[in-house]
A and B are shown apart, each in its own frame.
Chain A
Amino acid sequence: MAKYGMVIDLKRCIGCCACEIACKMENATGPGISWTKVLREERGIFPYVRFFSLPILCNHCAEAFCEKACPSGATYRTDEGLVLIDADKCLGCRVCITACPYNVRYWMKEKVSYFYPAPLTPYEEMGYAEHETGVVEKCDFCKRRLKEGLEPACVDICPAEARYFGDLDDPQSTVSQFVKQRNVFQLLPEMGTDPHVYYLAP
């Protein structure tokens, strides 16, 4: 059984946010909800400045606090290491949102149009049909695409090829090669969550 993971090369990432847009298109997330987002900032003092981007998404942690905090068992882990949410079981208590140290879970309070106060467009209605209101949502590594043998949309779209996705248990996969051989790090390692998203240092 594969254990999915992602490696993001921060040296390659140009902060274009194509991943964020691809994710929105693939998953039809509403305004204010970005299952993956790019945090950006300037670093340094003129003239030695540079632009730094850090794409973040659900880390599908091996020790996921959200899974432990969930009272209904709606958040669960698959054999492939994906941390998913069963929307039918979620009662919308949002304790998982506060338990997640990466703040990458979102509460789908209501279906709001991007053109609010206008009603939902037909395109939005179609996209939102798969979303349930009153529950928590997050990145699922595009599980629908994985079933079709495709990579997650953010990986597929990245023009700088900064994102790599694959089986961390397969020693031949690109991601496990990176994890073994390159200077990778995980976000907030002190939390002890053991994320399945790794970063290559910029």
Chain B
Amino acid sequence: MIARQRIVFERQDAFGIQLAFAIFFLGTGSGLFILSTFYGFIWGKVADLVFLILGFVFLALDAGHPFRVWRAFSNPTTSWISRGVIAVSIFFVLAILAVLQGFGLLPWMDGSVGGWTVKILGLIVAIFLLIYTAMILASYPSVPAWNTGLLPVLFVSYGLTSGIAVLYFFHSLNTIPIIELAQIGFILVAVNLLLLLIYWVGLSSTVTAAKESTRLITKGELWPHFIIGVIVVGLVVPLIMVGQVYATSKVTGSSLILAGVLILIGNFIFRYVLLRMGTYEIPR
């Protein structure tokens, strides 16, 4: 017989703002790489390298012993951190190759077998990176709010959304028509918002610590971050801004840039809120 156990909730305090920055930069870098590869936009790939480096630096700084990060390569069979560190390293090489290829500094061209290999491998690893950052959180049931299959999907969506947001900054360098950028952004942000709402509803309909996490983001100390920062600033306002393209058939570069800034701010706050709302069920 199992004795009666009551459950109380305890907030996780292991992961904080530095990891939020790390997964934000890695997610944005991966999303940016995917979109830049699709559009053949070389400056996006250059920016992607910067995001990757920032992500890795924050990941290392978040560790208690940054100079031991090389040890994280040791356990890829079961550890998502280990898989991720390996993937980041491979992706870094592929991203450099993609940039060199884009500038014509490699012996092979974009359309050749070598070029396609770099592109396809880069895309696979970029998608893996988007998923891996979610899997660090989602793979164990200890924090029920994270332990959901929707989290990797949400992270892929957030990565692509922030990728398009960065592309907005380069719209003047880009060959993609500004209207097309706005239309794609609208779709990505709308899908992102929908996924987030599904995730939110899913959390609130559980009976575990996930419900406590929901309370934190709707009524508790994190509600301004989530409702205002993540939903309003990060998704709804940019959605309206880029959505004007459907109403007026035109959109200005400055409104795209502003929408991009808001998307990135919302994206970062989402990562931060997600970490901060993590709650354990402690048996009693």
Contacts and interface: CB of A to CB of B under 8 A. Distances in A.
Bind each other? yes
Interface of A: 10, 39, 41, 43, 52, 54, 56, 65, 67-74, 89-95, 97-103, 107-109, 133-136, 183, 185, 187-189, 191, 199, 201-202
A95 B63 CA distance: 10
B79 A95 contact: yes
A69 B140 contact: yes
Given A92-B65, A183-B1, A39 B284 contact: yes
Interface string B227-270: 00000000000000000000000000000000000000000000
15 contacts: A41-B6, A69-B80, A69-B139, A71-B71, A71-B72, A71-B75, A91-B71, A93-B64, A95-B136, A100-B142, A101-B141, A101-B280, A189-B2, A191-B142, A201-B3
A89 B79 contact: no
B206 interface: no
Max count, chain A CB within 10 A of own CB: residue among B5, B12, B75: B75
Interface residues of B, number: 42
B142 A187 contact: no
Contacts of A89: 68, 71
B278 to A, nearest CB: 7
B82 interface: yes
A201 B78 CA distance: 34
A120 to B, nearest CB: 19
Given A95-B79, A98-B278, A72 B141 contact: no
Contacts, number: 130
Query: Chain B interface secondary structure, helix, strand, loop or mixed?
Result: loop
B61 to A, nearest CB: 11
Given A74-B71, A93-B62, A191-B141, 4 more contacts: A39-B282, A95-B80, A109-B64, A136-B64
Contacts of B78: 67-69
